[in-house]
Amino acid sequence: MQKTSKILAVALALGTLPAAAFAQTTVGTVHVTDAGMPAVIDYCEELATMSPWDGFNHRPSHAQTVASGIYLQSIQLADCQRAGLV
């Protein structure tokens, strides 16, 4: 009985890890992890300072995309606004 309860406790603990490890927020169609959120917030703030035309035509630098690990180009200012980031 003792062995069964230990196995159950370990199984339950392991079952909760993926939920914590993969906490995500959706910005537009992009799923952003907690680790990638600072880069997305910076990108959204950058878009918010631009004119509508410049924001529409803006493409993130390769360095921004690589550093964030997120395809930033698919995020638009309206997505940032709906997510409450700006």
Tens digits of per-residue pLDDT, 75-86?
Answer: 999 999 999 999
What is the share, in percent, of the chain residues with pLDDT greater than 90? 29
3-state secondary structure of 20: helix
In a domain, 15, yes or no: no
Structure tokens at 10: 């370990």
Supply the range of the domain harboring residue 62. 23-82
Residue 6 has pLDDT above 80, yes or no: no
Largest separation between any pair of C-alpha atoms in the chain: 68
- pLDDT at residue 44 in the model: 93
End-to-end CA distance of the chain: 54
In a domain, 5, yes or no: no
The rounded distance, in Å, linking the Cα atoms of 47 and 35 is: 20
In a domain, 1, yes or no: no
Q: What is the mean pLDDT of the chain?
A: 78
In a domain, 72, yes or no: yes
Let me know how long the chain is: 86
Give the number of domains in the chain: 1
- For the entire predicted model, the pTM comes to 0.68
